[in-house]
């Protein structure tokens, strides 16, 4: 198994680390394959209640591996079209679908560069915490290509259609505060506090009601594509399922007793 993406599970928290710090965690074929393999492992893991996605070293991910791309463009146009299509369809997009579909809340922990596919990966996470040295760009237009990794789906939902078009077409660089003001990230913290802030957030989520979190993720994920009547039915079904859990009984009891609930994910 490639070490270009690492999966570390400690207790109820899983950390997925992009591990090419010498290359700003840029994405090539080997990393794409490793990302899919680690996502599949995570999908099968038991006892995980929160996930952190991060990059090793000083950066989250600087996008695609341009050095590797340069070797690919030496091929004939049809051959390189097929190469990139296989890379995206067989590795990159299945990994995104798995991570997006996890029942657990997924937090992006972002420092340094967050560009190209790194931007897409961050946008696909449920929550994002950025260090004050983080910077963001879609980047694709600068390479003469359109986006991958789901960012054309995520971005309009995060920032609106007009702003999404601006970010995609112009590929301007945003600092952490600009990303926060646009709603791309939830919080900005000093670089020295990033790990602790993400750990605290993950611990808080892991201590929450796991089935309720999973239901909320499902409902939010389908909401913009679902007619109101269908969404109301889905909410009713999800609430009813949660009401049958031990965590719901604990939540109600704790509220009445004016204490903090002790959820067990059941």
pTM, rounded to two decimals: 0.94
- % of the chain residues with pLDDT over 90: 95
CA distances from 103 to 7, 89, 169, 191 (A): 17, 23, 33, 29
Q: Give the tens place of pLDDT for each residue, 164-179.
A: 999 999 999 999 999 9
Q: What residues contact residue 231 under an 8 Å CB cut-off, 6+ apart?
A: 219, 222, 223
Total residues found in the chain within this entry: 266
pLDDT in tens, 75-85: 999 999 999 99
> What pLDDT is attached to residue 1?
60
pLDDT above 70: residue 136: yes
Is a pLDDT exceeding 90 seen at residue 140?
yes
Q: Is the pLDDT of residue 155 over 90?
A: yes
Please enumerate in sequence order all residues whose Cβ is within 8 A of that of 223, keeping only pairs 6 or more positions apart, or say none.
231
Compute CA 82 distance to the chain's CA centroid, rounded to the nearest angstrom: 27
Backbone angles phi, psi at 146, to 5 degrees: -90, 180
pLDDT for 265: 82
Average pLDDT score over residue span 110-132 = 97
Q: Which residues pair with 52 in a beta bridge?
A: 15, 107
CA distances from 212 to 47, 71, 242 (A): 15, 47, 6
Cβ neighbour number for residue 196 with a 10 Å cutoff: 10
Phi, psi of 178 (to 5 degrees): -65, -40
**pLDDT digits 0-9 by tens, 19-43:** 999 999 999 999 999 999 999 999 9
Instruction: Name, in order, each residue with C-beta under 8 angstroms of 115's C-beta and a sequence gap of 6 or more.
Output: 61, 62, 63, 136, 137, 138, 139
CATH class of 5-206: alpha beta
Reduced 3-state DSSP string for 83-137: HHHHHHHHHHHHHHHHHHHCCCCEEEEECCEEECHHHHHHHHCCEEEEECCCEEE
Rounded (5°) CA angle 79-83-89: 140
pLDDT at residue 2 in the model:
79
- Residue 189's SS3 state is strand
């Amino acid at each position: 198994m490639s070490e270009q993406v690492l999966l570390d599970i400690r207790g109820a928290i899983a950390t997925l680390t992009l591990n090419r710090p010498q290359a700003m965690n840029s994405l090539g074929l080997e990393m794409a394959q490793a990302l899919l393999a680690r996502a599949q492992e995570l999908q099968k893991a038991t006892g995980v209640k929160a996930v952190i996605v991060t990059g090793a070293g000083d950066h989250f991910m600087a996008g695609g591996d341009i050095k590797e791309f340069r070797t690919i463009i030496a091929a004939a146009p049809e051959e390189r079209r097929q190469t990139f299509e296989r890379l995206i369809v067989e590795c990159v997009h299945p990994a995104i679908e798995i991570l997006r579909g996890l029942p657990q809340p997924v937090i992006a922990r972002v420092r340094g560069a967050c560009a190209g596919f790194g931007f897409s990966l961050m946008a696909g996470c449920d929550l994002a915490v950025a260090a004050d040295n983080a910077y963001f760009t879609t980047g694709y237009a600068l390479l003469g290509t359109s986006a991958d990794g789901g960012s054309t789906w995520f971005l309009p939902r995060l920032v609106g259609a007009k702003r999404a078009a601006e970010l995609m077409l112009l590929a301007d660089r945003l600092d952490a505060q600009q990303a926060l003001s646009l709603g791309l990230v939830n919080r900005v913290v000093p670089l020295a506090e990033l790990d602790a802030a993400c750990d605290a957030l993950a611990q808080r989520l892991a201590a929450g009601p796991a089935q309720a979190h999973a239901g909320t993720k499902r409902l939010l994920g389908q909401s913009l594509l679902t007619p109101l009547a269908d969404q109301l039915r889905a909410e009713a079904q999800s609430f009813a399922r949660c009401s049958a859990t031990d965590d719901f009984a604990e939540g109600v009891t704790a509220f009445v007793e004016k204490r903090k609930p002790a959820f067990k994910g059941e």
